Amino acid sequence: MSACTLAFTLQNDFAQFAPRLGTLSLQRLDGTSTPEIQTPGFITASSRGVVPHLSRDHVKMTNAIRLTNIPFESFLERTPPVPTLQPGLKPLHAFLGFPTWQHILSLSLRDPFDGREMPANNKLYVSANCIRGVRKVTPADWRNYAIACKPDLVVALSDVPYTNQLHSQKRTTKGIERSTGWLADFLRPVAASLTGEEEEAKPHHLNVLVNLVGGTDARARTLFSQGLIETLHGREQEQVQPIHTLDEGVSGYIFDFLPLRLSLDTKSMTEPKQAIETDMFAELARASLAPLPQNKVRIAYSTTSPHEILRFVQDVGVDLFDSHWAQRAANIGIALDFRFPAIPDDMPIWNDEHCPCPQLRSNGKWDLGHNLFSEKYAHQHTRLASSFLNGTSPETQTEDSHVCPCGACSPSSLSIYLTHSSADARYLETEVPQRPYTRSYLHHLLHTHEMSSHTLLVMHNLSVMDAFFAGIRQVLKSSPASFLRELDRFAQTYDESTELFDEAEKLWAKIESERGKGRLAREKQSSGQVTTE
């Protein structure tokens, strides 16, 4: 058994493909512990090691950020990659400024949300992207980087082609073979020479996540998973001893939907495309999970709506999702405004003329949020979301009315701040809640291309996602039998189509073209394939 320090405990009785409640925690070898992550929950997306648009003080105050994925590839611009040079016991955490007692970091080589076409991998290396261009990363490199950075979770290298076409059977088989081989290689104990000690090789204490590959071929996916639980013999087993199957060395499973989505020929699909795609992916996920033990954490990357998240909770039993969709919404000026369970139409906060709810679409469903670029928000001097109260709302919080704790809706003036001379006054004795940032102000910031617009929207949208998952967990805890009914009600209430995002993107592109380019132009480039058909 590898010295796995990840603990994932499932709390309810569950079927193999059904909603589950879980708790993820880590006991680190240095004795520090991490907060417990309740599942279903989410992983925050990062770019170049930061949560986009958030300075560290804002990351600290956004409690929604607990588990973050760090793509390593941006650091390949230098040799050796700089985080591997950071001194200390937890280099990745220290370099990026995520306190170990508050944050769990997962390390992947590639950015899961970058769907750009890449040069092909081969059996010797994976192609990765950094600002200086494509870099070839061998399995040995990857192991060394992971061992040097000491993330809490690390994703083993896998071979997934990023090309816009259906893959041949041969390509898929190759991908499976390589991925299996690379996982085996990754699970080898650290060579004695690396630890500099005389004793025999030690397990490397990394918690390994594996991508369940196999493309859109259900049988291939099942085959890959069977390979994970196959008992190893002879030399193969010697290499990874003391474990006997690859799965023993694995802490969790990842479903990466972006490459699947890219490889699908959606033109030939009938409507409703989104629902069909979701069902297809759920089936593929089940094919992957069928042979595998149920008590390991299941992670899904690149879901494209809260509706899809609910379906994967219901139909597959996925534990962790990403918040990239919500963060992308912030980049294009959308303030999310939805809850789970869905807010009943007749609730007073949904019908407040001073805080109008999102737009009703022609299909009778509400938008999932507000496109704050729209002119109608220029005069709405009210908090961002109708679904949530803000920190200074006079209405008392009841079971039905929740406060959004984010830095936009519930800002507060700190009790301690800097003074610079003996002549300076100190203003506050205690933390004082402030009025929320308004839709009209955000509208103004977006139109004047001010960066703080994205800062406020990211904090808000992550908090809405946090509340969404808290709502899922609450239903699963108190009345699991009603989950499916609530899922259906959510789907009836909120619009799953991309109309809101499309409109916002158009307005955002217009504003951006009137100014200079920067990170956001590149970001748009890399994620463009996710949100456009």
Partner 1 sequence: MQFEIVAKCPTTKARVSRLKLSHGTTALPTFMPVATQAAIKGLTSQQVEALGINLILNNTYHLNLRPGMKIVKEAGGAHKFQGWNHNLLTDSGGFQLVSLSKFTKITEEGALFSSPFDGELTMLTPEECMSIQHTIGADIIMQLDDVVSSLTTGPRVGEAMWRTIRWLDRCIETHEKSGKTETQNLFAIVQGGLDPDLRDQCLDEMIKRKDRVAGYAIGGLSGGEEKDIFWRVIKQCTDKLPEDRPRYSMGIGFAEDLLVCVALGVDMADCVFPTRTARFGVALTFNGPLNLKSSKYATDFGPIEKGCPCPTCSDGQSRAMLNHIVTLETAAAHAITQHNLVFQARVMGGVRNAIIAGTFPQYLKTFFAQYFGNEGYPECTRTGCKMG
Of 441, 490, 494, 508, the residue at the interface with partner 1 (CB under 8 A) is 441
Residue 67: strand pairing partners: 104
**Is position 511 an interface residue for partner 1 (rule: CB under 8 A)?**
no
The smaller minimum CB distance to partner 1, of residues 451 and 509, is found at 451
The smaller minimum CB distance to partner 1, of residues 88 and 528, is found at 88
**Residues in 55-94 that interact with partner 1 by CB under 8 A:** 55-58, 74-75, 77-78, 82, 85-87, 94
**Is position 444 an interface residue for partner 1 (rule: CB under 8 A)?**
yes
**Residues in 111-150 that interact with partner 1 by CB under 8 A:** 131
How far apart (Å, rounded) are the C-alpha atoms in residues 463 and 64? 6
How far apart (Å, rounded) are the C-alpha atoms in residues 39 and 10? 9
The smaller minimum CB distance to partner 1, of residues 3 and 378, is found at 378
For the chain, how are helix, strand and coil distributed in percent, rounded to 5?
Answer: 40, 15, 45
The smaller minimum CB distance to partner 1, of residues 187 and 456, is found at 456
Number of residues this chain uses to bind partner 1 (CB under 8 A): 62
The smaller minimum CB distance to partner 1, of residues 259 and 436, is found at 436
Element at 209 (helix H, strand E): strand 207-211
Torsion of CA 502, 507, 509, 512, to 10 degrees: -150
Site string for partner 1, 391-430 (x = CB under 8 A): ----------------x---xxxx--xxxxxxxxx-x---
Strands 334-336 and 67-71: unpaired
**Is position 215 an interface residue for partner 1 (rule: CB under 8 A)?**
no
The smaller minimum CB distance to partner 1, of residues 413 and 474, is found at 413
Name the residue with tokens 């379906």.
311
Name the residue with tokens 């804002």.
58
Q: Residue 104 to residues 27, 42, 73, 150: CA-CA distances in angstroms?
A: 11, 12, 19, 11
**In whole angstroms, how close is the CB of 300 to partner 1 at the nearest point?**
26
**Is position 53 an interface residue for partner 1 (rule: CB under 8 A)?**
yes
**Is position 440 an interface residue for partner 1 (rule: CB under 8 A)?**
yes
**Residues in 447-466 that interact with partner 1 by CB under 8 A:** 447-448, 450-452, 454-456
**In whole angstroms, how close is the CB of 423 to partner 1 at the nearest point?**
4
**Is position 437 an interface residue for partner 1 (rule: CB under 8 A)?**
yes
**Residues in 149-188 that interact with partner 1 by CB under 8 A:** none
The smaller minimum CB distance to partner 1, of residues 112 and 411, is found at 411
**Residues in 22-51 that interact with partner 1 by CB under 8 A:** 47-51
What is the CA angle 163-167-171, rounded to 5?
105
Residue among 64, 484, 136, 500 nearest 310 (CA): 484
Q: How many CB atoms lie within 10 A of CB 66?
A: 21
Of 19, 52, 112, 333, the residue at the interface with partner 1 (CB under 8 A) is 52
Name the residue with tokens 């023993």.
248
Beta strands in 55-206 (DSSP E): 67-71, 104-108, 126-130, 133-137, 153-155
How far apart (Å, rounded) are the C-alpha atoms in residues 172 and 151? 30
Handedness of CA 523, 527, 387, 469 (dihedral sign): negative
CB-based contact 154:104 (threshold 8 Å)? no
**Is position 378 an interface residue for partner 1 (rule: CB under 8 A)?**
yes
The smaller minimum CB distance to partner 1, of residues 114 and 277, is found at 114
**Is position 102 an interface residue for partner 1 (rule: CB under 8 A)?**
no
Residue among 407, 389, 528 nearest 65 (CA): 407
Cα of 260 vs its chain's centroid, Å: 17
Please report, as a single letter, which amino acid is at residue 269. Answer: M
**In whole angstroms, how close is the CB of 54 to partner 1 at the nearest point?**
6
Of 97, 293, 344, 528, the residue at the interface with partner 1 (CB under 8 A) is 97
How far apart (Å, rounded) are the C-alpha atoms in residues 155 and 128? 14
What is the CA angle 280-285-289, rounded to 5?
150
**Is position 335 an interface residue for partner 1 (rule: CB under 8 A)?**
no
**In whole angstroms, how close is the CB of 71 to partner 1 at the nearest point?**
13
The smaller minimum CB distance to partner 1, of residues 261 and 447, is found at 447
**Is position 379 an interface residue for partner 1 (rule: CB under 8 A)?**
yes
**Is position 513 an interface residue for partner 1 (rule: CB under 8 A)?**
no
**In whole angstroms, how close is the CB of 106 to partner 1 at the nearest point?**
19
Q: Is 515 exposed, middle or buried (0-12, 13-18, 19+ CB in 10 A)?
A: exposed
**In whole angstroms, how close is the CB of 352 to partner 1 at the nearest point?**
17
Residues near partner 1, by CB under 8 A: 47-58, 74-75, 77-78, 82, 85-87, 94-97, 131, 378-379, 381, 407, 411-414, 417-425, 427, 434-435, 437-438, 440-441, 443-445, 447-448, 450-452, 454-456, 518-519
